[in-house]
Structure formats: C-alpha cells, structure tokens
Structure 1
Amino acid sequence: MTYEVPPPPGPPATPPKAGGRPGGSFDPASVNRLDWAILGIGLIVFIFSFFSYYTLDYSSIGLPFSKSYGAWHWDGGLFLAWFAMAFSVVAAGILALSIFAPTVSLPAAPRVLTLLAFGVSFVLYVIAIFAHDDFGDVLSHGFSFWLSLVLAGVGTVLALMRAQQTNTALPGPLAGLPRVGN
C-alpha cells in the first residue's frame, strides 16, 4: 500500500483590501462631489447643533442677561429643532452607509431615504419657526438655527439631484418632479 502526498493547496486567499471593497482600497475621488457635500452638510448641522439655536436676551433693573441654547435644549417645546437636526444627521448617515458600506441592506433605496430624511428635517425647521411664536422679544432663534435651516434645504435639493442623477425611482408624487440640475 502506498501513500500519495496530496497536492499542495492553491495560492493563499488574499485578505480583503482596505475599505472592504473588492479590487482595491477606497478611493475618495470615486465619490461624487455632491455626495461629499451632502455628507458635509450632515456633519456641519451636527456641529452647529451645540451652538446658538435659541438666544435669550433679557434686561431687568438695567442689568442685561443673555444666554444661548443649542438644539440639545428640550425645555419649553424646543425639541423640534433637535428632531430637525437629527433627521439631517441621519440623512447624511444613510448616504455614508451606502457609500462606505455598500453591502449593508436598508429598507428602501438609500437615495430615497436620504431625500426623505432631509425633507423631513427641512419641514421640521420651518415648523419650528412658527411653533414658537410666543418667544416675544426675549427668546429668539439663533444663528445656528438659521444656518441649519438653510443647510437642510440645500441638503434636500442636493439629495433630490443625486437621486435623479442615479436614476433612483422616487416614490409617489416625488416621481413626477422635474429634473433638478444636470
């Protein structure tokens, strides 16, 4: 009885490359500029949520008092701005997942989810303008609030542009929107 030596195994399996993508590492230049802008909007809105969303200016007996609150201040119904901020950050997070971890399964197309989250964020910011009409001369919206409102609107438009550029099927009445940008 003879014993045959098994053939040597094939070449060793190559470990996954950096970034988890087959065929090479992640190339930032491969990401569309508008996608980078959307990711940046989410980051900027998050950073500015810690600054002056609401300002309190009060004077009593000739002594001025001033205080500012970020989006993280929930007293007196100011939570709308926090939800608006959270939707902007979630929108950018969804897009980041689709770009940097494309194997992650989401319940709907990432571009649709990003568009809807930015749209909800913008609507919540607009509602927050009018929901606090009892501010009077004492409490008002601060710089970060207005900046975040504008960025949520820009994020909504950019997300719509990218969804249309990538031929993503938009749900319901959004499918009939005219094309924005090139």
Structure 2
Amino acid sequence: MNKCREAVTHYLAGDYQGEHGNPPYYAPPLFKHGNLILSQTSSILMYLGPKLGLAGSRENDAYRVNALALTALDGLSNEVHNCHHPIIPELYYEEQKEESLRRSKEWIKIRLLSILAENLEQCLDGVQFAFPKAMNQARESGKYNQVFQLWNDVKARPNIAAYLGSDRRQKYDWGIYRYYPDNDVLPE
C-alpha cells in the first residue's frame, strides 16, 4: 500500500511536470500502464473496458458504457463533491460553509434518492439480463421486496417507462451485462 501511495504522491507533487506525453495530474485516481498514465475514473474505465472485453462488441458500444459510467459518477461522486465545494473547489470547505449547507440540503432533497434509484434500476436491470434465474429466485424469496419494489417504481416513472418501451433503448449484448446460459445458475 505504501508503494502505491508513494507512486501517486510522485505524480501529484507540485513539481511533477509530466513525462512521456502525460500531463501533470490534479487528483487521484491514477492508472499507469506502461508509459501511459490516466486519471479520472471514467477515462480509466474507457481504457480498460475494451482491453478486458467489457465495452461491448459493436463499434460504438464503448461510448454507451462510458455514458452509463459518467451518469453514475456525476450523481454519486461529482455532485456529492460539489456539496462541500459549492462555489469553487479552490476554496476550503470552511470558506464556504454557509453555501455548502445550502447546497447539501438541496441536493439531498432533490437529487440524492433519485440518483441512487436510477443507478440501482440500471444495475438491477443489467443483472436481471445476465442472471435471470438467480434474480427470479431472489425476487421470489421475499427477502428483497423493498429493493424490487423500488426497481419497479423507478421503471414506472413516466419518462423512464417511455424510454424503456422505445426503440431508443439499447438492447443488452456484449457490454457489461452479458448472458451466458452456463453461468445462469442458482446459488447452492
């Protein structure tokens, strides 16, 4: 762990000017592969997805996967960060406490549960595609009624329901969520 911390510290040090065509970096996460150094979770995922066979099989699938990652990260990372830096990130939290409290209250009231619910819906829908037997067993067990009710409630929201029923919705294929009949098993 210390070796990783030291490596990241090297790249984030104020005197690091970049090398091998890589610019200086502002904040982790950082990913290094050979001479390539990437920052930002979505960029790292965009790089790794095709190499690991997790970005779809068609030409533009990687961009669709990236859009899902960006949506999740916008709501669950960037917007949360903006709650304690609502004016500008260069100001310390203590310099914007009043605005931070105001932003946090509004975000929690308006966005928090909506973002969580929408991301949960997408994940559950993908897992349902990949593992229908296990998901059906989980649903029938009754142990997760509230999770499945939330999933159904989100899918029933007018704009989401319209999208899910339209031809704009991409069908699952070889992206993150894949169906392999041999892997569609029930827990023992």
| Same fold per superposition (TM over 0.5) | no
Structure showing greater radius of gyration is 1
Structure having the higher helix fraction is 2
Structure with more of its chain in strand, by fraction: 1
**More contact order relative to length (CA 8 Å, sep ≥ 6):** 1
